[in-house]
Chain A
């Protein structure tokens, strides 16, 4: 058996979402919810948008100290799980396989189709251009949140990072904006998962088997 056949047999029969991806996805879901809702509790102590605060029903932590403690506990889960996901995605080539290539013309095409209510989601194993773009944006937003979060947590130890962001208050606004991007993504992501339930099912059970390219061609 040659090396080509060996790698093929290693790949054959794998699922769209291997167990490691599923664990990391749901760990991230929990971590993100903890970070977002506890962050809202911290925000309320010194609001960025005057007159706007988050109601207690959606906040984690009964007052700021406990929201902070949740945030500083959740950050480990988010950062370690996120780092594991990125390392896994780079080493296995999954990130490249799922997200690339991404072309502007395809994005325009998909947006036009969606506006005409043509939501083609027959093949779960291939992401359309808008999906790819959204996943790339949310991954970058997650990384940005860690960096702006470190700047806010340690503005003296990392004072260079803070001045790069235009000061401490600017870093706070960036951290808040990053949250808004992620919450916006979540709204679309959860809505679409509920509209096309087999995608939700695939993230629980692994989904269809995929071929060597990671997409839905026949297994050799």
Chain B
């Protein structure tokens, strides 16, 4: 449920538009630095230190962020279910969001796609889409919260990650579940969240096969973490005790990303 601000039009432009062009904006900014060799930015690059973000400050902020990850893990209640919504509130289609433009999307061929398994898993045989769809399915109508601030309600169906991990004989006492994706967007989550009842390996949206821009054939969907923690176009799952990191996490975003 959202309250409309009088400052806000009824139909806001999709914030993803800005996101889509961010790499372009960044590359233009970089070109600007090359063109103006005496700029502060170029000077910073020459001296190897970032004026905006000195290395010592960055290290301190990252240390606090890692401490906050533990606080977030403490605040996470494995039995607390996120609110669910009626099907009439589901946004169709969902929002596209990635670190690149939707035009640069590389669709996955579902017929040749195999899910690779690695790490602390008993049965590491690769799985087909049919294998995964044969497992018990569940549907959740939950809210997606982006770290930027926007949100929408989506209807996701697939096998609960807990059911999947149990099926392949994963070590459920391990610390992390890590994901590799077709779009080079590595990601990882804590085991407690992996076992949360609303954490799904989603293969359907609003009762239809997941469309290409939203992660076909399989993506992660959690009700208890921010949007960027939900990798799409998953190609491999690893259960591990070694901290795996992730795409945005390497760039500074908090790893836990719980909500």
Contacts and interface: CB of A to CB of B under 8 A. Distances in A.
The list of the 9 closest CB pairs from A to B, nearest first, reads A46-B149, A65-B252, A62-B52, A45-B148, A169-B2, A46-B148, A69-B61, A167-B1, A170-B3
Interface stretch (A154-162, A178-186, A194-202): A154-162
A166 B3 CA distance: 7
Contacts of B197: none
A170 B149 CA distance: 11
B215 to A, nearest CB: 21
A66 B64 CA distance: 12
Interface string B141-177: 0010111111100000000000000000000000000
B252 A50 contact: no
B91 interface: no
Nearest to B6: A49
A46 B8 contact: no
The residue in A154, A156, A170 that gathers the most chain B C-beta atoms within 10 A of its C-beta is: A156
B259 interface: yes
Interface in A43-89: 43, 45-46, 48-50, 61-62, 64-66, 68-70, 72-73, 76
Contact of A62 (B53, B145, B223, B258): B53
A173 interface: yes
A33 B246 CA distance: 31
A159 B147 contact: no
A69 B62 contact: yes
B148 A157 contact: no
B136 interface: no
Interface size class of B (residues with CB under 8 A): 35 or more
Interface string B53-82: 100001011101100100000011100101
A156 B2 contact: no
A40 interface: no
B248 interface: yes
A117 to B, nearest CB: 35
A172 interface: yes
24 contacts: A45-B15, A46-B148, A61-B53, A62-B50, A62-B52, A64-B148, A65-B248, A66-B53, A66-B58, A69-B61, A69-B252, A69-B254, A73-B65, A153-B259, A156-B82, A156-B83, A156-B224, A157-B75, A157-B77, A157-B259, A159-B82, A163-B83, A169-B151, A173-B5
A69 B223 CA distance: 23
Contacts of A43: 149
Nearest to B61: A69
Contacts of B2: 167-170
Given A50-B12, A156-B224, A72 B3 contact: no
Contacts of B248: 65
B251 interface: yes
Contacts of B1: 163, 166-167
A155 B147 contact: no
A142 B139 CA distance: 40
Nearest to A160: B83
A168 B15 contact: no
Contacts of A42: 149
Contacts of A69: 61-62, 64-65, 252, 254
Contacts of A166: 1, 3
Interface in B1-48: 1-3, 5, 7-9, 12, 15
A33 to B, nearest CB: 15
Given A48-B7, A166-B3, A66 B252 contact: yes
A156 B150 contact: no
Interface in A138-161: 153-157, 159
Contact of A156 (B9, B146, B223): B223
